[in-house]
Structure 1
Amino acid sequence: MSNWSRLSVVASALIVAACSSSPTGRNQLILFSDSDMSSLGAQSFEQMKQEQPISTDKALNAYVQCVSNAVTAHVPPQAGFDEWEVVVFDSEQVNAFALPGGKIGVYTGLLNVAVDQDQLATVIGHEIAHVLADHSNERLSQAQLANVGMQITDIALASSGAAEYRSATMAALGLGVQYGVILPYGRTQESEADIIGLDLMAQAGFNPNASVALWMNMAAASKGAQPPEMLSTHPSHDTRISDLQDQIPRVPKAQSGKPNCKAPS
């Protein structure tokens, strides 16, 4: 069997064997195990803790931990890890993240934009939703399949006598994979995480209307610096706000009383 045939068989087998569904029912390609992803997440988190300063502000850490605990209390048990670890990084970045393996990172700069517990819960719920929906696994799986597809095309071009066009064609295909597959997929994941995260924070007793206020704050903080939606892995602020406004009337009722996490003064 030729290399081209072998790679074609591998690509087909991967697609058939790895079909899955996200929590919203969207079809996904999942190639890696929960234990693999948890291990990758834990390794990445440990490296970040070594390379980036960690906040020692006790009140700030207690506040972020309180909001995170309130949200994760409504997350079902996850394969691959038992507990969520939360770290506050001392950085002006307006950002937060969650990694497979139950790792949550919040940058102190985010608290200048997410100005109360409800807005912070919106962000943390969103980031946790990425983990619950296997978005990291999905992105890695897409990249893996795209790599196989690139190899198939490269072999086909090499054997077709079109060697003089091979470099230019592969470069163009690489651009197509990046903007035609990976980035649109990222926007879909971001929108999905908004919906799942909104449900999570509402179940935890936080005010879902704060999600709209948060993204208005984000829009104001970006001051027009956001890239065009077509070339971004995130939906535009306007799209995000509109989608959240549509979803808020459908969020589940709170499963507990409103948390009382005290933001440091």
Structure 2
Amino acid sequence: MVKYFSVFFVTIVLLLAGCGSVPVTGRKQLNLVSNQEVLTLSLQQYSDFMKSAPVSTDKTNTALVQRVGRNIANAVETYLKNNGYADELSSYSWEFNLVKSNDVNAFCMPGGKIVVYEGILPYTQNETGLAVVLGHEVAHAVAKHANERMSQQMMTEYGTAAIGTALGGASTGVQQAAAVALGLGSQYGILLPYSRKQELEADKLGLIFMAMAGYDPGQAAAFWTRMSQQGGSTPEFMSTHPSDNTRIQQIQRDLPEALKYYKGGSGTTNSGSAKTSNKWSF
């Protein structure tokens, strides 16, 4: 009985100590991992990736990615500064890169290191479409989804009773949480559904962030519709991402809130080229 009480007590203490909230949405989240540890690990991974990645030689589209990314990052930083999150700004060192690849993808590392693949540009089609993608990726960084996922994995991998030990040597615990693959039961029962929740949150925040930067969030659903027309899909319960229909329907529900932040003013620079057939995974 004492053993179970101890486990329960440790659980409560950890959950209270590691509780944070997401800017704008206010959703409570579990963060057992320090920003510094996450940034150290992610920066190393990002550095390794960029050393081998074929950086795009398309100067026009590279400049477009950097311009749209910076517009959104500036708008987000202004929002954070004016709404009680100024202490968070030191966590971000924004960088936006375009990689030469036909993959229809983009990803964000903690701290604001964002990579866009050339293969997604035929689907973004213009500057506003690109803002949908970059708003979504910036949202992952601002919402600290990587910290949350690693915390979730630590809870799942080590068990509540062992979390205290793992956190006692935090660096080891964090590295293991980032590296160890989960069993199917935990993966499909806990982490993947939660990841879909994060993806939908990133969609919502992305709409708001692109609106803050002057891009029309009303064009987001059209972008995701184009993405859905690539063909082929993974059953939603086995995917880390929502189904196309789920995503588009939720975006339409979130649009009225995002429009409150929209004042207009952004142009639409064409960045399209021939379509590719790769399935997106960002």
Q: What TM bracket, shorter-length normalisation?
A: 0.7 to 0.9
Aligned equivalent of 2:276 = none
| 1:100 counterpart (99, 110, 116) | 110
How far is 1:80 from its partner? 4.1
How far is 1:62 from its partner? 0.7
Aligned equivalent of 2:226 = 217
| Contact 1:37–1:100, Cα closer than 8 Å, also in 2 | yes
Give the distance between the partners of 1:79 and 1:148, measured in 2 at CA.
Answer: 32
Give the distance between the partners of 1:180 and 1:210, measured in 2 at CA.
Answer: 34
| 1:227 counterpart (234, 254, 257) | 234
Could you give the per-residue CA deviations for residues 198-218 of structure 1, whole angstroms, max 9, x where no partner exists? 000011111112110111111
Structure 1's 206 and 191: CA in aligned 2 closer, same or farther, altered over 3 A?
same
Query: Counterparts of 1:185-224 in structure 2 under 5 Å?
Result: 185-221=194-230, 223=231
Give the distance between the partners of 1:86 and 1:113, measured in 2 at CA.
Answer: 18
Give the distance between the partners of 1:4 and 1:91, measured in 2 at CA.
Answer: 52
Aligned equivalent of 2:16 = 16
Query: TM-score when scaled to structure 2?
Result: 0.78
- Cα RMSD, aligned residues only: 2.5
| Contact 1:60–1:264, Cα closer than 8 Å, also in 2 | no
Aligned equivalent of 2:141 = 131
Q: Structure 1 regions of 5+ residues with no counterpart?
A: 153-172
Give the distance between the partners of 2:198 and 2:107, measured in 1 at CA.
Answer: 14
Which amino acid in the other structure matches residue 263 of structure 1? S
How far is 1:148 from its partner? 1.8
| Contact 1:40–1:100, Cα closer than 8 Å, also in 2 | no
| Contact 1:7–1:148, Cα closer than 8 Å, also in 2 | no
Could you give the per-residue CA deviations for residues 115-158 of structure 1, whole angstroms, max 9, x where no partner exists? 11111100100011011111000000000111122887xxxxxx
Which amino acid in the other structure matches residue 229 of structure 2? A
Structure 1's 264 and 111: CA in aligned 2 closer, same or farther, altered over 3 A?
closer
Could you give the per-residue CA deviations for residues 28-63 of structure 1, whole angstroms, max 9, x where no partner exists? 110112222222221111111012211122112111
Which amino acid in the other structure matches residue 63 of structure 1? L
How far is 1:257 from its partner? 2.6
Structure 1's 218 and 145: CA in aligned 2 closer, same or farther, altered over 3 A?
same
Q: Structure 2 regions of 5+ residues with no counterpart?
A: 78-85, 163-181, 274-282
Give the distance between the partners of 1:262 and 1:216, measured in 2 at CA.
Answer: 18
Which amino acid in the other structure matches residue 22 of structure 1? V
Aligned equivalent of 1:181 = 190
Structure 1's 147 and 80: CA in aligned 2 closer, same or farther, altered over 3 A?
farther
Give the distance between the partners of 2:141 and 2:246, measured in 1 at CA.
Answer: 22
Give the distance between the partners of 1:174 and 1:4, measured in 2 at CA.
Answer: 24
Query: TM-score when scaled to structure 1?
Result: 0.83
Aligned equivalent of 1:254 = 262
| Contact 1:205–1:259, Cα closer than 8 Å, also in 2 | no
Matched residue pairs, number? 242
The residue matched to 1:74 in structure 2 has which SS? helix
Which amino acid in the other structure matches residue 16 of structure 2? V
Which amino acid in the other structure matches residue 55 of structure 1? S
| Contact 1:34–1:80, Cα closer than 8 Å, also in 2 | no
Is residue 57 of structure 1 aligned with residue 66 of structure 2?
Answer: no
| Contact 1:34–1:79, Cα closer than 8 Å, also in 2 | no
How far is 1:68 from its partner? 0.9
Which amino acid in the other structure matches residue 29 of structure 2? Q
Give the distance between the partners of 2:264 and 2:224, measured in 1 at CA.
Answer: 25
Query: Counterparts of 1:26-41 in structure 2 under 5 Å?
Result: 26-41=27-42
How far is 1:102 from its partner? 1.8
% same residue: 40
The residue matched to 2:115 in structure 1 has which SS? strand
Which amino acid in the other structure matches residue 28 of structure 1? Q
| Contact 1:202–1:208, Cα closer than 8 Å, also in 2 | yes
Largest Rg, 1 or 2: 1
The residue matched to 1:97 in structure 2 has which SS? strand
